[in-house]
Structure 1
Amino acid sequence: MNLAEARTALGNARRVAVLTGAGVSAESGIPTFRDAQTGHWARFRPEDLASPEAYRRDPETVWQWYAGRYADVTRARPNGAHRLLAGLERAKGDGFFLATQNVDGLHTRAGSEHLAELHGNLTTARCEGCGTVTPLPQPEAFTPPPVCPGCGHRMRPNIVWFGEFLPEEALEAATRAFQDADVALIVGTSGMVYPAAGLALETRREGGVVIEMNPEETELTPYMDFSLRDVASKGLAALVGEAPA
């Protein structure tokens, strides 16, 4: 398959499913999960901060790390890739579904609505007691840890940690969307983190077209019908025929 054929397939598709990873948000200046370990935090491994065991051991330190990451994503802005995907959703309507491994909330801020945040969201907290999810205050007014407005219990970062399962409802919705998709787009992800990486194979098994956008080859490249070797915004622009805003 070449670019012209990929563009035709996407244009004709009634059902489109998209999986996005860290490469999409990198263009907004958000470091990848491991690249966020700079300065004071360089002495920690991400696994030492992003796990239930770490939180039980030292919730204050874990919350300080997440509060800093939350401040970073709040300052960031959606980029051309986020906006192009929101525009594709408007074009495809109910036939569009976006699953993201990113936790920065930038897809929502760009206008995406039919989406599943598979790994959670940095801008929210979840009650350890009753499970209530609420937005965090603005970073300048935020003193962690937050307290649940419903039951008064301490809240934790609303993130899927090492050793935890993905939200069942979100994963099921994403799996159905990729199984039903005429075209699946795999954008800015290494294809190494499962079960999210397996969504592309769901489309492949059902006979749909799978298109990848990534500057480098990934674990999923051998299974793709077409791969665009570019950053997310430029790859999507070439595919949908628009300039990245």
Structure 2
Amino acid sequence: MEAVLARMRALDERLPPQDGVAVFNGVYLTVTQTLHRRIERGGFPAPRAARTLGVRFAERYLAAVESAADGHRAVPACWRPLFQYRRHPGVRPLQHALAGINAHIGHDLALAVVSTCRALDCAPAALEADFDRVGDTLVTLEERIREDLMPGPDLLEIADPLTHLLGSWSLDRARSGAWAAARLLWTLRRSPDLAQEFTESLDAGVGLVSRCLLTPLPAPLPTRSPCPALFAPHDRAS
């Protein structure tokens, strides 16, 4: 896991802070460091399995970053919106963070579970306890992410649409969907054509959700003085 952490830290140093990919990378780096510490401290029942899952999970995100930087390799549909809107002035940091989490949990996690099962020669059920602990860590951090990146009182003009937009997405639901998708893909492992069709459909569907999460929002309106016609005292005849 140290190798993928080093790659994320290198990205953190290289990307400008306002870049949407940098926002997600900072969040994911924190999550991965937390998971790594918990694994090393014995917080997972099967540390080898948890470590393998964590590495294969992270490698899918890093592969998407490399594909986008290369310019000649196809970026998975789930990640395309984040790379397309990474510098859009109407997209807020919280949107970038959650769109990246949506892509990574909604699509990459299921594929990482299947890849881990193949590597360890086990069924998904053998990873369920570690999967749940990873998910619990992510859910715990989600609230902190929302608090840290939510606009402050000076941006109340955008807070309402932002709250409405992001309130429609749930990490817990995304995690449950990823587990169901992993189990289905494992069942389809002997039907590669069906598995590929399902994977492509999953990729496209998650990408659509990410695009919605990255809907540009209006800039906050300038503060205006109260209208004199409404608030000035009426003139009285002397």
TM-score by length of 2: 0.30
User: Which has more radius of gyration?
Assistant: 2
Instruction: Name the structure with the higher strand share.
Output: 1
TM-score by length of 1: 0.29
